[in-house]
Amino acid sequence: MKNRTMPARIWQRGKNIVANENAQIENIDRINKEVKATVYGTYAYEVVIREKSGSMDLCDCPYFAENGFCKHIAAVIELLKEQHRPLEHLFMNGEFDEDENGFADQDETIHFFHNRETRMAQESGNLFLDELKLPTKQYFQLPSKDESEKK
């Protein structure tokens, strides 16, 4: 892969993300030769991978800001491999069908995984509720020993 060197542990974390179905390709821009994706973890991270150089890749996670690479970028690259369209071959001429306006088939450019989106929304909602630290509502409480003896 051109100019994309990351420690093996980062690649493995990217593979784990793909195995858990927490990455999705949002758009493949054939003109600018870039892939836009969302990778779900603690948050939903936006990732952009460009064909030419790893130094042009982007991720909005804090690890990427400090290191210039991250498991989210590795996950998108691994997802493309799993889909049998590795980045190094993705933008080769004649590999995909375009209509008369130059647009590729929508199935080739956007992939939505509705079940995953539903699961992620539910997990986000549960995380939000957990962070509120609301007291647990008690519908029934056994009387204390003292209260039961008074009756």
Q: Is residue 148 part of a domain?
A: no
Residue 70, classified by CB atoms within 10 Å of its CB into exposed (0-12), middle (13-18) or buried (19+), is: buried
Q: Is residue 113 part of a domain?
A: no
Q: Are 33 and 52 in contact (CB under 8 A)?
A: yes
pLDDT tens digits, one per residue of 104-135: 444 443 444 444 555 556 666 767 767 777 77
| The model's pTM | 0.60
Q: Is residue 145 part of a domain?
A: no
pLDDT tens digits, one per residue of 42-93: 889 999 998 876 568 899 999 998 888 899 999 999 999 998 888 878 777 5
Helix (H) or strand (E) holding 123: helix 114-132
- φ/ψ region of 35 (left if φ > 0, alpha if ψ in -120 to 50, else beta) reads beta
Residue 42: give the domain boundaries: 1-91
CA distance 49 to 63: 16
> How many domains are contained in the chain?
1
